[in-house]
């Protein structure tokens, strides 16, 4: 059902195939801001994150690990500065590391059963992947200015990165951090299913 064409040297060559026609179309998705497609999200600044961090720590000290985990997953930093996002990741990582391996599954099960729980686990998955990315990335990633987290808790270099130096003495703690993330990942997927990974990839709200 092709339309009969006049063959010219231009149409016989394949050069026209490489023209980026989207750039020429004013309505194309290249030419509008895709963020306008979604409703705006509330902005969270660094001070809020620090305040939340303090509350979460208090819960942790009080022995309410589940409350602490819920607390930091209920207010993910979707719209905020890089440093605020980074600081919140630190908070989440801290909570995750303070929870015993044997408590993970029952706790996740309880969260999943509660109303809105699957949303919380989706947020957790996002932070787990962010944690992995942060540790796989350069160890010199911009550290949150206001973060009071000791550097031992910061996942930095892992075996995933082939570029970085091979594991040395400094990498032992980061390897441990990564294994914490990986075991959480396994447990969350057991409960929230593959759907949560799909949602993490699809979602436009990035942590």
Q: Does 37 bind other proteins (CB under 8 A)?
A: yes
Q: Which of 32, 45, 110, 170 binds other proteins (CB under 8 A)?
A: 32
104-52-58-186 Cα dihedral, nearest 10 degrees: 10
- Taking the least distance from each CB to other proteins, the nearer of 28 and 170 is 28
Would you give the binding string for other proteins spanning residues 46-65, x where CB under 8 A is met? --------------------
Paired residues of 43 in beta bridges: 79
Neighbours of 129 (CB within 10 A): 16
Single residue of 48, 83, 119, 161 touching other proteins by CB under 8 A: 119
Q: Are 89 and 123 in contact (CB under 8 A)?
A: no
**Length of the chain measured in residues:** 207
Nearer of residues 8 and 202 to other proteins, judged by Cβ: 202
Token duo for residue 133: 């990315």
Residue pair 44/75 in contact by the 8 Å Cβ criterion: yes
Assess 29 for contact with other proteins (CB under 8 A): yes
Question: For residue 79, what are the β-bridge partners?
Answer: 43
**Please, which residue, 18 or 169, has the CB nearer to other proteins?**
18
Which of these segments, 43-51, 73-81, 142-150, 187-195, binds other proteins (CB under 8 A)?
187-195
Residue (171 or 196) nearer to other proteins, CB: 196
125 closest CA partner among 141, 112, 139, 110 = 112
- Name the site residues for other proteins (rule: CB under 8 A): 1-2, 27, 29, 32, 37-38, 118-119, 122, 191-196, 198-199, 202-205
């Amino acid at each position: 059902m092709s339309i009969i064409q006049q063959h010219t040297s231009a149409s016989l060559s394949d050069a026209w195939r490489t023209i980026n026609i989207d750039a020429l179309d004013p309505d194309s998705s290249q030419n509008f801001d895709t963020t306008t497609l979604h409703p705006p999200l509330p902005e969270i600044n660094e001070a809020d994150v620090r305040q939340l961090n303090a509350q979460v720590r208090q819960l942790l000290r009080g022995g309410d690990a589940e409350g602490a985990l819920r607390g930091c997953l209920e207010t993910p930093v979707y719209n905020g500065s890089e440093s605020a996002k980074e600081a919140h990741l630190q908070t989440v990582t801290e909570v995750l590391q303070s929870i015993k391996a044997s408590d993970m599954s029952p706790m996740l099960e309880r969260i999943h059963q509660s109303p809105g729980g699957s949303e919380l686990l989706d947020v957790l998955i996002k932070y787990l992947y962010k944690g992995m990315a942060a540790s796989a990335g350069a160890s010199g990633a911009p550290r949150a200015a206001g973060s009071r987290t000791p550097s031992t808790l910061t996942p930095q270099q892992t075996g995933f990165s082939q570029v970085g130096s091979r594991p040395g003495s400094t990498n032992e703690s980061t390897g441990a951090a990564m294994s914490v993330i990986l075991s959480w990942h396994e447990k969350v997927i057991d409960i929230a299913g593959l759907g949560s990974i799909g949602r993490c990839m699809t979602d436009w709200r990035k942590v």
